[in-house]
Amino acid sequence: MKVQTKYRVHQHHKFEHGGRKYAADLESNITVEINEIEWALLNRDLTETIYETVEGLKSQFEIDQIFEGIERLQRLSRRRHLLSPTEVTRTSPQSEERLKLLVPIQFVQEQSALDAVTNENRYHLLAALSKHAELETLNTTGRSSVEFGEFVSIRNLETKGEHSFPLPWYAMDGYDGILLLSQFLWHDILYYPQNVPVFRCLESDRKLGDTALSETLEHYAAQKSTDLLLPKASWLTDWLSDFGVALVGMHTIGEGINVVESIGRPLAKQHTAVLTENPRFARQPVVGVISGFKPNTGVSVISKLAAANPYLAFFVYDSILAKEYRDPPSNVVIFSAEEEETRAVLPIFFQALDLVCFPAVTGTSPSLVLEAMAYGTPAVVISQYGLPPEIKGAGVLVQCPAGRGNELDIPMQHLSETINQLLIDTERHEKYEQIAKGFAARYTWEGIAQEIVRLFKQSSAPANAHCQSSAPLSGQPLFCRYYDPRTNTTYSSAYREETKQFERLENALAEVLSKSHTPTEVETVFKHFRRHEGLHTGNGHNLKG
């Protein structure tokens, strides 16, 4: 989605007299004194974006002087002097066009905080997405990087020195959308261009759990109508809804899975028994547990399940307990995929399973669940939300009382009974097995990438329609943070849609409060804020939005 404020430059004549520069507007019959920067600006194509204008002139002039020149010409344009503004236009990408997406890849910094499978999956997603969109990331380190291969182009930036800008400035350079993969807010979306949709993928990761909740809620509070949170699992969407995140601001995109050719359950059981040095996996029914529990809860649930079902073997995927759980029960093996060689044998373990059991909580990896089931393995789901739509028709539910996050009150006896009933009910087991085998074709990285591209294109349409409306707003000030790219600082401010200007926060707040409160009450509010240093009024300038 390309955005630009167009200006028609009036017929004019520029001249110098007495050591000063002037521009004579031949249409409005007025002569205006200008400086050398405004002279240079009038020589440019003013249908270009502010980004293009500043980038084109910053080697000749100081950056703050360029912005001052732009702002003065914009003020003159409102009086129809020298140039006249035209409509703000948005050109939405057509269905066959290839999008250009900014993907700030700074999640390298958080790799150790996430499960190895999560990190691997993000590379699969980028590889698939690169087939449908042009991906670009920003490099500020000064070092070349080939970490992402050929599917993400790298734009090297100079972020030190007098001509440097923070990263959100460069997001103004013709991107159709911004895809945030980091689970932590390395970038504040408040400062990204208001016309570009920002999508943030949310992982259900074993190590992450619910620790990123505050960042997610902060992101949601700053969302525009065209922005979306993209949870990777339906239970993550349900969980965020409990905290007040509206469904209209989210879209569950799911995960792709990687499935190898099956060697058959009997042979997989034999290999698993050898690899784990535990003969139980060749002799007994094997139940896989894809854990998203907190460590203490996981130890308790696994220990109780193992004690209540000594005739079953339990294969547990838990990247935390694999390191921390000492001396598990003899019919339990705990595994993770932190090392490349262990990830390579994970498909063999999954093929050995007779049943998959998992909690639908933040921390449970949807890709691991779906991959384990895709070899034809039914599931028992522990959830307070109901059976996840991802596995509809291929599993049964153990309902828990309503709670929050992964603090579930699990009915352990009912859970054991449900597992055993599904193991002995061969007719239902076979029915679920056939449906689960279809997951490999249903959950692909190609499909996920196409869905993300579709959502970006869809988000452009309402923004385009909204922008072209000339109806003024009610006149109420919009309270916000103002970012000044000249000083790299932000401060609280207010914005007027009808005048396209920022103004002092104190003035706007007084106006709003005075409609329902007496002057004495308003003054009391300001005294309170000043006492607690909670009111920052900025530099007091009216700035063009």
Binned at pLDDT 50, 70 and 90, residue 195 comes out as confident
Q: What is the pLDDT of residues 276-312, one digit of tens each?
A: 899 999 999 999 999 988 889 999 999 999 999 999 9
Binned at pLDDT 50, 70 and 90, residue 544 comes out as very low
- Give the pLDDT confidence score for residue 189 in this predicted structure: 60
| Residue 46 lies inside a defined structural domain of this protein | yes
Per-residue tokens: 498: 């009808």
Q: What is the three-class DSSP state of 17?
A: strand
- Give the pLDDT confidence score for residue 145 in this predicted structure: 53
Mean pLDDT of 80-94: 67
Q: What is the three-class DSSP state of 490?
A: strand
Dist CA 375 CA 265 (whole Å): 9
Q: Are residue 279 and residue 411 in the same domain, yes or no?
A: yes
Q: Are residue 145 and residue 165 in the same domain, yes or no?
A: yes
Q: Are residue 404 and residue 269 in the same domain, yes or no?
A: yes
Q: Which of the pair, 432 or 94, is modelled with greater confidence?
A: 432
Dist CA 257 CA 124 (whole Å): 9
Mean pLDDT of 255-263: 92
User: Is residue 417 pLDDT above 80, yes or no?
Assistant: yes
Q: 3-state DSSP helix/strand/coil percent for the chain, to nearest 5?
A: 40, 20, 40
Strands (E) across 69-220 are located at: 83-91, 99-102, 133-139, 153-156, 177-180, 198-202
Average pLDDT of the chain, as a whole number: 82
Element (H, E) at 189: none
Say how many domains are in the chain.
Answer: 4
Mean pLDDT of 28-48: 85
| Residue 94 lies inside a defined structural domain of this protein | no
Dist CA 522 CA 98 (whole Å): 53
- Give the domain-ending residue among 63, 87, 111: 87
Q: Are residue 358 and residue 275 in the same domain, yes or no?
A: yes
* Cβ proximity of 272 and 281 under 8 Å: yes
Binned at pLDDT 50, 70 and 90, residue 504 comes out as confident
Q: Are residue 377 and residue 490 in the same domain, yes or no?
A: no
User: Is residue 191 pLDDT above 80, yes or no?
Assistant: no
Q: Which of the pair, 89 or 102, is modelled with greater confidence?
A: 102
| Residue 387 lies inside a defined structural domain of this protein | yes
Q: Are residue 292 and residue 434 in the same domain, yes or no?
A: yes
Mean pLDDT of 36-58: 81
Q: What are phi and psi of 326, to 5 degrees?
A: -90, 140
Q: Are residue 453 and residue 373 in the same domain, yes or no?
A: no
Q: Are residue 196 and residue 344 in the same domain, yes or no?
A: no
Q: Are residue 76 and residue 115 in the same domain, yes or no?
A: no
| Residue 473 lies inside a defined structural domain of this protein | no
Dist CA 11 CA 44 (whole Å): 14
Give the domain range for residue 68.
Answer: 2-87
Check which CATH number belongs to the domain holding 338 and give it.
3.40.50.2000
- Give the pLDDT confidence score for residue 11 in this predicted structure: 87
- Give the pLDDT confidence score for residue 236 in this predicted structure: 93
The sign of the dihedral angle between the CA atoms of 414, 419, 424, 425 is positive
| Residue 471 lies inside a defined structural domain of this protein | no
Q: Are residue 307 and residue 378 in the same domain, yes or no?
A: yes
Dist CA 482 CA 496 (whole Å): 12
Give me the helix-helix angle, 519-531 and 505-514, nearest 10°: 140
Q: Are residue 62 and residue 132 in the same domain, yes or no?
A: no
- Give the pLDDT confidence score for residue 172 in this predicted structure: 73
- Give the pLDDT confidence score for residue 257 in this predicted structure: 94
| Residue 33 lies inside a defined structural domain of this protein | yes
Q: Are residue 120 and residue 60 in the same domain, yes or no?
A: no
Closest to 449 measured CA to CA, from 139, 125, 93: 125
| Residue 246 lies inside a defined structural domain of this protein | yes
| Residue 472 lies inside a defined structural domain of this protein | no
Q: Which of the pair, 390 or 517, is modelled with greater confidence?
A: 390
* Cβ proximity of 326 and 356 under 8 Å: no
* Cβ proximity of 290 and 369 under 8 Å: yes
